[in-house]
Amino acid sequence: MRKQKGLALFALLVFLFLFFPLLIIVVTSFGENPTIQFPIQGFTLDWYANVFRISGFINSFWLSLRVSLLATILALVIGVPAAYGLSRYNFKGRTVLKGFFLSPTIIPGVVVGFSLFQFIVIKLQLPIFQGLLLGHFLISLPYIIRVVGSSLEQLDFSIEEAAWTLGSTRLTAFFKVVLPNISSGIFASFMLAFINSFNNIPVSQFLSGPGITALPTNLMSYIEYNYDPTVSALSVLLMLGTILMMFLIEKTLGLASIS
């Protein structure tokens, strides 16, 4: 009993340690002072209105949303079959290939961003938007393969083989048997990859260009010259958007009942 109480207290302290910075951001977004201060003086919503008055934030938000959504969808199209092949079949070099796909999650983000800059911008000389999209696709793919692969490793492939014996083709069995049984992993990987892509700074920083700047990069540039609570207000709006998206996906797709 004493060990359980100690574990519960430790978990509570960890939760407070993680939650307190978010609470500070929320509180400072309502302060009247032109600089971020905690505790705040006064109460105002002007900083939230200021977010929508800055055209750079609006334009970069839609750009980040478009890039992250497209990159995550492309990562799903490539990553789900790749995860299936790595989990379903045992072939020579499988471990090496799996490690290669997961390597972007191990290498520091600055190194990944600079490497992609050298390859996409310097070597391939792709347009800025296409290069940014390719970079975000490459950093989203490992999350798809990792999460979907974990779901596939827990799947009993005998049900797929049973579908084959009942006359289904391999492709039909994959779409009607395998995918419904790993749908929770697919949705979870989509959310993880999308949020990671949307919030990514190193890759966006290296691959952005004139007129095409992702929201995290724009936010960092704004903080460099301005330290007002507009940054806190924008952060709160992004947190609320993430919570709302998670809630809607759970309700519409029924993730809570999928396991």
* pLDDT tens, N- to C-terminus, the chain (259 residues): 666 777 778 888 888 888 887 888 888 888 777 777 777 777 888 888 888 888 888 888 898 889 999 999 999 999 888 888 888 777 776 777 777 777 666 777 777 777 878 877 777 777 888 888 888 888 888 888 888 888 888 877 788 778 888 777 888 888 888 888 888 888 888 888 888 888 888 888 888 777 778 888 888 888 878 777 888 888 888 888 878 877 776 665 554 444 4
DSSP code of residue 176: I
Range of the domain at 132: 53-253
The answer to whether residue 125 is domain-embedded is: yes
Q: How far apart are CA 210 and CA 204, in angstroms?
A: 13
CA end-to-end span of the chain, whole Å? 31
pLDDT reported for residue 211: 75
Structure tokens at 73: 């969808």
The answer to whether residue 2 is domain-embedded is: no
Q: Which residues, 6 or more positions from 11, have their beta carbon under 8 angstroms from its beta carbon?
A: none
The answer to whether residue 130 is domain-embedded is: yes
- How does pLDDT run across 179-206, given as a tens digit for each residue? 888 888 888 888 888 888 888 888 888 8
Write out the H or E segment, with its range, that includes residue 95: helix 94-102
Structure tokens at 33: 């002072």
What CATH number does the domain containing 85 carry? 1.10.3720.10
Q: Which amino acid is at 234?
A: L
The answer to whether residue 232 is domain-embedded is: yes
The answer to whether residue 43 is domain-embedded is: no
What is the number of structural domains in the chain?
1
Q: How far apart are CA 55 and CA 147, in angstroms?
A: 36
The answer to whether residue 19 is domain-embedded is: no
The answer to whether residue 6 is domain-embedded is: no
Q: Which residues, 6 or more positions from 211, have their beta carbon under 8 angstroms from its beta carbon?
A: 128
- How does pLDDT run across 106-128, given as a tens digit for each residue? 777 777 777 878 877 777 777 88
Are 199 and 7 contacting, i.e. CB atoms less than 8 angstroms apart? Answer: no
The answer to whether residue 46 is domain-embedded is: no
Q: How far apart are CA 171 and CA 151, in angstroms?
A: 19
